[in-house]
Amino acid sequence: MKHIGNIEEIDFDGAKILSVEKIERTLCLVVRLANSEEPCPLLIKFIDVKEEKAELYDNDDIHKANINTPPLDVIEVFKMDKDIFHFGGYLNSEPWVVWEFKAESYEILP
């Protein structure tokens, strides 16, 4: 996997998603990090995205498809497993949302 920057070094805890734009198989994610001294948003471009899914979980741990865009608005957890990116957090202050997808590569732009 090719990438510019190291996404695993980013502290996504409390990050607010400002926008998500999909252009063909590229997903552009703009976030404002909660623990950053930089007031500027961070742009992450995921290239060759596939197998995207988002699910909402309720209090009984039952999940259903999430068709909202963006699928969550606050990120609490992030994990990368090879070419799979996992985000977990809140949508409209309601827990819990899981959003994951595969991507061939990514770029982090300030």
Q: Is residue 62 predicted with pLDDT exceeding 80? A: no
**What's the domain count of the chain?**
1
Average pLDDT of the segment spanning 82-99: 92
Cα separation values, 65 from 42, 58, 68, 71, 104, Å:
27, 12, 9, 10, 24
Q: Which domain holds residue 30?
A: 2-109
The reply to whether the predicted model has a pTM over 0.85 is yes
Question: What is the tens place of the pLDDT at every residue in 32-61?
Answer: 999 877 678 999 999 999 999 999 887 766
Residue identified by tokens 């400002």 is 18
Q: What is the DSSP letter of 65?
A: E
CA–CA dist 110, 107 (Å, integer):
10
* Mean pLDDT computed over every residue of the chain: 89
* Helix/strand/coil for 35: coil
Residue identified by tokens 């498809």 is 65
